Structure 1
Amino acid sequence: MDKEAIIQKLQEKAVALLQGNPSHFLVDIRIKPTNNFKIFIDGDNGVGIDDLVKYNRALYKQIEEEGLFPDGDFSLEVSSPGLDEPLKLHRQYHKNTGRNVEVTQLDGQKTEGELFSVADDAIVVAEIRGKGKKTERIEHTILLETIKTTKIQIKF
Structure 2
Amino acid sequence: MNTETLKQNIWQATENLLEKEFFVVDVLIKELKEKLKVSVLLDGDKGVNIEVCAKTSRALGNIIEEQNWIESKYILEVSSPGAENPLKMLRQLPQHIGRTLQIATKDGKIIEGVLKNVEGNQIVVEQSIGKGKKMQKIVHQIDWNEIITAKVVISFK
TM-score of the pair, normalised by structure 2: 0.91
Runs (4+) of structure 1 moved beyond 6 Å? none
Superposed, which structure 2 residues align to 1:1-156 within 5 Å?
1-18=1-18, 21-34=19-32, 35-71=36-72, 73-155=73-155, 156=157
Superposed displacement of residue 118, structure 1 = 1.4
TM-score of the pair, normalised by structure 1: 0.92
Superposed displacement of residue 135, structure 1 = 2.1
Structure 2: 5+ residue runs without aligned partners?
none
Structure 1: 5+ residue runs without aligned partners?
none
| Separation of aligned partners in 2, 1:107 and 1:127 | 17
| Separation of aligned partners in 1, 2:125 and 2:21 | 25
The CA RMSD measured in Å over matched residues stands at: 1.3
SS in 2 for 1:46: coil
Q: Which amino acid aligns with 1:39?
A: V
Q: Which amino acid aligns with 2:51?
A: D
Q: Which amino acid aligns with 1:66?
A: Q
Q: Which amino acid aligns with 2:59?
A: A
Residue-pair matches, total: 153
| Separation of aligned partners in 2, 1:57 and 1:110 | 40
| Separation of aligned partners in 1, 2:11 and 2:113 | 33
- Summarize the Cα distance change of 1:27–1:138 in structure 2 as closer, same or farther, 3 Å threshold: same
| Separation of aligned partners in 2, 1:86 and 1:14 | 21
Does the 8 Å contact 2:90/2:121 carry over to 1?
no
SS in 1 for 2:93: helix
| Separation of aligned partners in 2, 1:51 and 1:124 | 30
